[in-house]
Amino acid sequence: MDFRDKPEEAAFRQEVRQFLKEELPDRFRGISAYEGGGRGDVRSRFGELKEWRTKLADKGWIAPAWPQEYGGAGFSVMQQFIMNEEFAENRAPQVGGMGTSMIGPTLIVHGSKEQKQEHLSRILSGEVQWCQGFSEPESGSDLASLQTRAVRDGDDYVINGQKIWTSGAQYSHWMFMLARTDPDAPKHKGISYFMIDMKSPGVTVRPLVNMTGSAAFNEVFFENVRVPAENLVGEENRGWYIGVTTLDFERSSIGSAVGLRLQVEGLIKFAKEHTKDRQSNLEGQATLRYELADRLVEANVARLLSYRVVTMQNKGLVPNHEASMTKLYASELNQRIARTSIKVTGLYGQLMPGSEWAAAKGRYGSSYVQTLAATIAGGTSEVQRGIIATRGLGLPRD
């Protein structure tokens, strides 16, 4: 495999690097989701990110994968990959969120002319933030079993039910969601895709405070919420097929892979700097040094898995079990890095943010707790292993 950029790719990579060097405000460096903070922190700072968003918008980089006719950059697979990689290396925030990566591409493919006119420009401007209403209390990995109902009533649909694990709902203006419109149809065929104004009467958002004390996600309740029929995306009862369409084809997870490596490098730096003040257990413990070396090697393996996925995409192939391998490996590595960080920092590392004795201001203790969800969010490890077994290895389902 040739890891070198082609001349045109090298030129574009240099363009991205120069842009980040000159334009990324210092106060935003390091606030990406990959080191500390998490997605909720970025979402809560939309106002502060306005200046940065304007700079990205001027280059068409808010939604780089969108066609130029809709305000995107029309990037190729490799251009988008390079941009994501360089942004991750510089810990630069990408501000589009679910609007640019999910609902925007969905509307470009499946939306009506009126829906595109109403929503796409407002997504790019940052005027409207979106959240995803898919998971329910009894419908996570088996999403097609969802029970939230949408019943047609004249020019509206009336929606009742509950969604959960809804990231950023407390900051969002609109939600794209799935609801069951035909309870008698096979479970994959009776689902429709809707857009809902979060200020609609009957919508209640309840933040879920996790073990770190933050509320990155929420539960959302719908009580007789009236949604105009014009907010149905695509055909009624065809929402499942719209929802699972791969619209943003860049699934290499390169940002996660780079972030994992940065975490390990940061941990090594911290251990070296704090050995003498006893906030590090590194001194005299060769096994911990070996463990840190293992984590660094594994982080580079995660990057190679991402390269494999993007190479397939660049050839016009559809990564399936390969993408599951990348996600599974990165999720479990994230947990191993968190465990190693606690070993390195000892009792100081177990303290949470706010304690004057916490190692690295509590980043490692907070990260350790947060990573418990890594093998659940975005598709559980069990589901990923099932995909790898059946689609990758050809093993029987039973």
Residues with a catalytic annotation lie at: 250
**DSSP assignments along 304-369, one per residue:** HHHHHHHHHHHTT---SHHHHHHHHHHHHHHHHHHHHHHHHHHHHHTPPTT-TT-GGGGHHHHHHH
Neighbouring residues of 266: CB distance < 8 A, sequence distance ≥ 6: 35
> Within a 10 A sphere around the Cβ of 211, how many other Cβ atoms?
12
Which burial class, exposed, middle or buried, applies to 278 when counting CB atoms under 10 A from its CB (0-12, 13-18, 19+)?
Answer: exposed
Q: How far is C-alpha 3 from the chain's CA centre?
A: 26
- The amino acid occupying position 33 is A
| Cα 107 from Cα 120, distance rounded (Å) | 8
| Cα 266 from Cα 49, distance rounded (Å) | 25
| Cα 382 from Cα 380, distance rounded (Å) | 5
For residue 214, give the nearest of 357, 37, 342, 31 by alpha carbon. Answer: 37
| Cα 344 from Cα 366, distance rounded (Å) | 15
| Cα 163 from Cα 204, distance rounded (Å) | 10
For residue 163, give the nearest of 203, 215, 195 by alpha carbon. Answer: 203
For residue 172, give the nearest of 205, 139, 210, 124 by alpha carbon. Answer: 205
